[in-house]
Every structure is written in structure tokens, then in C-alpha cells.
């Protein structure tokens, strides 16, 4: 029987016109995706970037929101005129990655800048976007304020206050110690008074006592400390001890108030020493109390500070110990202090000096014995006309500065140098 074989289906070849139409459709879809890529599209092209707000007060932490089209992340680059705040803590980096948008980050713009620039590089392809942020005057809202320290100094040196003649062993020293302890405690800090016999030769016939005021702000890490100090005793040849070292003590108290509520990695310790004029006795005793399992990343000393530019005195940040003047022995601490003074704050180099120096005439020297690097801040030093005389008074420091407004600005500079140094140090693993 004959079999009938069905016809095989014929394969239709695409016509040239069909190929052209499909190709055009594919090109149109691809162009649309590249022009407005959805969030899921990999390696998307150029993206719109925005940052809010576009202005912020100097000297205050402001939260910024970064938005990249498509919800993508990217990389944020800062100028040195701002310090980043992430997780509530200052960070020293100038470049930050963020995984998605919108993304929030805190920034502390320099109180002396007029603007700062932020640059965002979106993830994947696309050009970086540079956005200028206007820095507005902060007024009384800054993290630290020179006017507050000046007011504290006025009260401390008032002859009616009971805090003048702060000579070690004088009842007014004890009175001042209790006053400062109360101030630190009012900021929520853990405080104590440490007392030691004054060593005047083998025996002090008057039984005088060295008193240190210690206030601690515990950080996330209790084994790493940054210590700030000044001596609140005065020389027996003075009365008010306004500049040596009442002003340094009041600057440390003002810093404690400002930093008490700031989250830090390091534990920050504020110490006011006595016995400095008798040979650094308070600080020598204090370093013996530091636990053996604690690393002091750095010690910042404030002795005769606050009279500097725009007053007619040069500021010095003297970094030590400096045993060899031909070698930079503390490059990290030198660079960090330079960044705080000149890069972040923008203070003039001819008026603000940052250098290693072997100067040994204050409490920072006691910290060298435990291997701690130090910054010895100085304003007008031996050229100050009231040094160790009865002329070391509040009125005199106002006069030599050129008026209260100039002195207030001088103190403001020192406060901000200390704050910026602490914030940058806090992101260091230490020691320096």
C-alpha cells in the first residue's frame, strides 16, 4: 500500500525589514534605560545628585542628606574645612562610602570658613558632582565659645571671689579646687579631688598639700585616654594669677562643658593641677595614678594660653618630647595638629606655629615619663609683661590683648584649636 508523506513545514526566513524594525526597538529601549535607569539596572549611567541642606552654621554639627537618583550609593569627599560625624562620633577621614540613598551624615564645618565643598561620586558610571555648602555664622550656638571662657576668667580673678592667691598651701587654693570640682560635676562628669603632701625638700614645715581636680568623661573605650590639663595654682609673686594660669584653667573647664555630651571613642580626662609652680608636683603625682592597662594617646597642656592672634602674640603648639632637632620624632601628632590649626580652622601660618620643641617648663613634661606624646599650647610666653608679678591681672590681660573683643577672639581661637585636635585625635588608634 502506498504511503502518503505529509509536506514538511517550510521555515520562513526573516525579512530584512523585520530585522531593521527589531533593531530599532532594541536601541530605543536601551537608550531609555540609560537615560532614566531604574534602581535595579546594573552599572547605571549618569545620575542626578543632591545634598540638603546647602548651608550650615559654622562650628555646629549639621546633618546632611545625600540623594542619588535610582537609590544608588556612592562616595562622599570632604574638604579639610569640615569634619565628618558618623554614628555620633567624629571621624578623621575625608572620603566616605555610602551604600544607598538617601544617606545621612553629620558634618562640623569650620567656624572660620565661609563655605565648604562636598563631592559625590555615584556608584557605577556617572560623573562626580561637586556641591558648595555656604557656612553661615553660628553666633552663640558654636560647640565652644570664647566669650564663655572670658566670663569664667573674670569671675575667677575677681578679688571678692575668694579664688585669688591660689598659692599651693593657701586656703584659697582649696576653695578654688572645690569650685572647679563643682563645675565639672555640674556637666555630668565623674569628678574627684586628689591630695598629696607638698615636697619642699625632705619636709614641708607647714604641711602644705597639693590638690588636683580630676574630671572624667568615659568614652566607648575605657582603656584609651586623651588628657587635657592646666595648672590652677599661681606663683607666690602674683595675686590674681590671671594668665598664669587662671585663663588656661578656665579654657579647660569650658572645653569640659562643651565636650561632656559629645560621644567619643576615647575617654577624655580633664585635670587641673596644683603644685606646678613648686616643680610640677601635681602632674608628677597624677601620672602615677593612671592605670597600667590604659594608653594615653596624647596629653594637651594649656599653660599661659588664650593671648594670641589677633592679640599681638604668636600662638605656639610645641610638640614633644623633642630629643633631636634634626628629626621629626612625632610626625603623626605634628600633622594632626597642623591639620586642626591650619587646614580645618584656616588660621594664618605666620601667626600660629606648629612645631616640635623641647620646652620643659610645664606639666606636660610629667607625661613624658610614661611615654606619652604631648602638645604644649602657648600664647604670649615670657614676653607677657605681667609674668610672675602682681600685674598678672584680668585688667592687664585685657590691656595687652588690645581690648576685651580682641581677647575674646584670641581665646576663641585657642578653644577651637583644642576641640579640633581632640576630635581628630579621637579617631586615632594611638599612641601618637
Sequence-ordered alpha helix ranges (H) in 243-287? 247-259, 281-287
Is the predicted pLDDT of residue 123 greater than 70, yes or no? Answer: yes
Q: What is the distance between the terminal CA atoms of the chain, rounded to a whole angstrom? A: 104
Number of CB atoms found within 10 A of residue 54's CB: 12
pLDDT at 17: 53
Is the predicted pLDDT of residue 5 greater than 50, yes or no? Answer: no
SS3 115: strand
Mean pLDDT of the chain: 90
As its CATH architecture, domain 49-138 has Sandwich (2.60)
In DSSP terms, 309 is beta-bridged to none
Number of CB atoms found within 10 A of residue 232's CB: 30
Is the predicted pLDDT of residue 2 greater than 70, yes or no? Answer: no
- The fraction of the chain above a pLDDT of 90, given in percent, is 81
Q: In which band, very low, low, confident or very high, does the pLDDT at 381 lie, cut at 50, 70 and 90? A: confident
Is the predicted pLDDT of residue 303 greater than 80, yes or no? Answer: yes
Query: What span, in angstroms and rounded, lies between the C-alpha atoms of 207 and 229?
Result: 25
Mean of pLDDT values over 364-375: 98
Query: What span, in angstroms and rounded, lies between the C-alpha atoms of 395 and 336?
Result: 35
Range name among 44-53, 296-305, 350-359 with the lowest pLDDT average: 44-53
pLDDT, tens digit, for every residue of 175-204?
999 999 999 999 999 999 999 998 855 556
pLDDT at 431: 85
Contact 108, 58 (CB under 8 A): no
CATH superfamily membership of 143-426: Zn peptidases (3.40.630.10)
Query: What span, in angstroms and rounded, lies between the C-alpha atoms of 157 and 236?
Result: 15
pLDDT at 203: 52
pTM above 0.75, yes or no: yes
User: How do the domains of the chain map onto residue ranges?
Assistant: 49-138, 143-426
DSSP state for residue 314 in the 8-state scheme? -
Bridge-based pairing of strands 129-136 and 115-122 is antiparallel
Number of CB atoms found within 10 A of residue 89's CB: 18
Contact 228, 422 (CB under 8 A): yes
pLDDT, tens digit, for every residue of 336-351?
999 999 999 999 999 9
pLDDT at 430: 81
Amino acid at each position: 500500500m502506498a504511503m502518503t508523506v505529509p509536506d514538511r513545514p517550510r521555515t520562513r526566513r526573516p525579512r530584512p525589514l523585520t530585522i531593521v524594525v527589531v533593531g530599532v526597538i532594541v536601541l530605543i529601549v536601551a537608550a531609555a534605560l540609560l537615560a532614566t535607569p531604574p534602581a535595579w539596572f546594573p552599572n547605571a549611567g549618569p545620575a542626578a545628585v543632591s545634598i540638603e541642606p546647602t548651608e550650615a552654621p559654622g562650628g555646629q554639627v549639621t546633618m546632611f542628606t545625600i540623594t542619588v537618583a535610582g537609590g544608588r550609593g556612592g562616595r562622599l569627599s570632604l574638604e579639610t574645612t569640615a569634619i565628618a560625624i558618623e554614628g555620633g562620633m567624629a571621624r578623621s577621614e575625608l572620603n566616605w562610602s555610602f551604600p544607598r540613598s538617601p544617606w545621612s551624615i553629620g558634618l562640623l564645618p569650620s567656624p572660620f570658613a565661609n563655605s565648604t565643598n562636598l563631592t559625590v561620586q555615584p556608584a557605577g558610571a556617572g560623573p562626580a558632582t561637586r556641591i558648595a555648602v555656604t557656612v553661615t555664622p553660628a553666633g552663640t550656638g558654636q560647640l565652644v565659645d570664647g566669650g564663655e571662657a572670658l566670663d569664667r576668667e573674670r569671675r575667677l580673678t575677681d578679688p571678692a571671689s575668694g579664688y585669688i592667691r591660689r598659692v599651693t598651701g593657701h586656703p584659697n587654693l582649696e576653695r578654688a579646687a572645690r569650685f572647679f570640682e563643682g563645675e565639672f560635676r555640674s556637666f555630668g562628669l565623674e569628678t574627684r579631688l586628689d591630695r598629696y603632701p607638698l615636697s619642699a625638700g625632705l619636709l614641708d614645715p607647714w604641711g602644705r598639700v597639693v590638690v588636683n581636680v580630676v574630671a572624667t568623661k568615659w568614652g566607648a573605650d575605657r582603656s584609651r585616654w586623651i588628657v587635657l590639663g592646666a595648672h590652677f595654682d599661681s606663683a607666690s609673686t602674683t595675686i590674681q594669677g590671671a594668665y598664669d594660669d587662671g585663663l588656661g584653667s578656665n579654657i579647660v573647664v569650658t572645653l569640659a562643658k562643651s565636650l561632656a555630651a559629645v560621644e567619643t571613642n576615647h575617654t577624655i580626662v580633664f585635670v587641673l593641677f596644683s603644685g606646678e609652680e613648686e616643680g610640677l608636683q601635681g602632674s608628677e603625682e597624677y601620672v602615677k595614678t593612671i592605670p597600667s592597662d590604659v594608653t594615653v594617646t596624647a596629653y594637651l597642656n594649656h599653660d599661659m594660653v588664650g593671648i594670641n592672634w589677633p592679640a599681638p602674640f604668636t600662638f605656639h603648639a610645641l610638640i614633644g618630647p623633642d630629643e633631636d632637632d634634626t628629626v621629626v620624632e612625632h610626625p603623626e601628632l605634628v600633622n594632626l595638629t597642623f591639620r586642626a590649626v591650619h587646614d580645618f580652622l584656616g588660621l594664618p601660618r605666620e601667626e600660629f606655629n606648629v612645631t616640635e620643641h623641647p620646652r620643659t617648663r610645664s606639666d606636660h613634661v610629667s607625661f613624658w615619663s610614661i611615654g606619652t606624646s604631648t602638645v604644649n599650647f602657648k600664647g604670649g610666653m615670657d614676653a607677657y609683661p605681667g609674668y610672675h608679678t602682681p600685674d598678672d591681672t584680668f585688667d592687664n590681660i585685657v590691656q595687652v590683648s588690645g581690648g576685651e573683643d580682641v581677647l575674646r577672639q584670641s581665646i576663641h581661637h585657642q578653644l577651637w584649636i583644642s576641640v579640633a585636635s581632640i576630635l581628630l585625635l579621637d579617631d586615632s588608634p594611638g599612641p601618637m
